[in-house]
Structure 1
């Protein structure tokens, strides 16, 4: 049985791979040389444009033994909402599960609150006061955004 190197890889494949690598290097160099700004985060854009909050609420999320999630308004000490097991609120649970995982990785407990903020430009964000991570809730669609917007005082809900 003979071994022929000519049949290993077609020349066209090698040429296309080389062209792709050169294009990637060229595009990266063009962006660096021209000084094209990198995409800014929504938080940085709001700060640069001085967008003020329209409403804000500081919340603490905690799990109850029966599987319910209790959402407490830290400012007033009252319960803002209780999400019972089986309710159609998977988005809130999913977001909070991700944030709780990040807190566990950084050694932060569930004590520090979260800041839910409705901005004057209509955006809604949830910021972890312990880690500084901010989630833009508007990006997840109207119904998911509404789940968190319902936690704001009724006179400020969009």
Structure 2
């Protein structure tokens, strides 16, 4: 096998790549050494600002054999909503699929409930009561947020 200089990277490309790597390492070191605070999570910012919940509903999501998702209000002991197969509620299914995967990784089943909370600042979050993972639903846009907001009691809906 021969050595062919035509297939090598140009020196300028190698130099720029090296400079970019050095810049990234330098910028990271500067942030760490100057004590620049890391970005806070929405939950931490709410706690710091003492933002109170307006409404909270404890929900359990269960898959039915026919492909429907049954959403149970744990405190009331009643069905809050049934999402039938084919309904345009892919966002709820997608969020719950991700949370279920997280629970499987922690060895937790679907029995423990989730907490859906509307905050005084207008934010809406869904928190896994077992793993502590919280999803800020407002970040996904008004239509997707509304899918979960519809699960709140009628008088508390935004």
TM over 0.5: yes
Match of residue 29 from structure 1: 29
Q: What secondary structure does 1:117 align onto?
A: strand
Give me the CA root mean square deviation.
Answer: 1.6
Corresponding position of 2:61: 61
TM-score, normalising length: structure 1: 0.94
Aligned residues: 158
* SS across alignment from 1:127: strand
Shift, 1:111, TM fit = 0.7
Using a 3 Å threshold, how does the CA distance of structure 1 residues 61 and 15 change in structure 2: closer, same or farther?
Answer: same
Task: Assess, with a 3 A threshold, how the Cα gap between structure 1 residues 3 and 103 changes in structure 2: closer, same or farther.
Answer: closer
> Pairwise mapping of residues 141-156 of structure 1 onto structure 2 (< 5 A)?
141-156=141-156
CA distance in 2, matches of 1:89, 1:29: 45
Counterpart Cα distance in 1 of 2:7 and 2:116? 61
Which residue of the partner structure matches residue 49 of structure 1? 49
Who is 2:73 aligned against? 73
Where has structure 1 moved over 4 Å in runs of 4 or more? 4-7
Taking the aligned partners of 1:137 and 1:127, their CA distance within structure 2 comes to 10
Higher deviation after alignment, 121-130 or 63-72: 63-72
Name stretches of at least 5 consecutive residues in structure 1 with no aligned partner: none
Aligned partners of 2:130, 2:109: CA distance in 1, in Å? 9
Q: Return the alpha-carbon distance in structure 2 between the equivalents of residues 65 and 6 of structure 1.
A: 62
Q: Aligned equivalents of 2:6 and 2:96: distance in 1?
A: 56
